[in-house]
Amino acid sequence: MSTSAESRQAKMIDELRVFIKKVLSDPTIAVKSMEIARQHRSEPNAKELIARDISANTTIRIPENWSEADKMFLEIIHDVLEDEEALY
């Protein structure tokens, strides 16, 4: 793995560690994030709306220029929504 790839991976791991700590210290973050995602799931620009709403309504901050960790978080939310839909 190249040095720049290792650096990007280390940065993403650090971001995910901070995120996980926030979620574990405030269990309402996960619940609120999923409520927000459900509200916007059908909209054409759902990921952008979800990111903006989560930033406005939780202690999670997702900037306009998403990092790899931000993208991963939004993809995981999307996966959870798909899993929910598959159950019904």
Is this prediction's pTM over 0.85?
no
* Contact by Cβ (8 Å): 23, 69: no
Beta strands in 1-88 (DSSP E): none
Where are the domains positioned within the chain? Answer: 3-87
Instruction: Supply the pLDDT for residue 88.
Output: 66
* Contact by Cβ (8 Å): 86, 36: no
**Per-residue pLDDT in tens (0 to 9) along the chain, 88 residues:** 678 889 988 988 998 898 889 888 998 999 999 999 999 999 999 999 999 999 999 999 999 999 888 999 999 999 999 998 887 6
Instruction: Supply the pLDDT for residue 75.
Output: 94
Instruction: Supply the pLDDT for residue 57.
Output: 96
Q: Cα–Cα distance between 21 and 72 in angstroms, integer?
A: 16
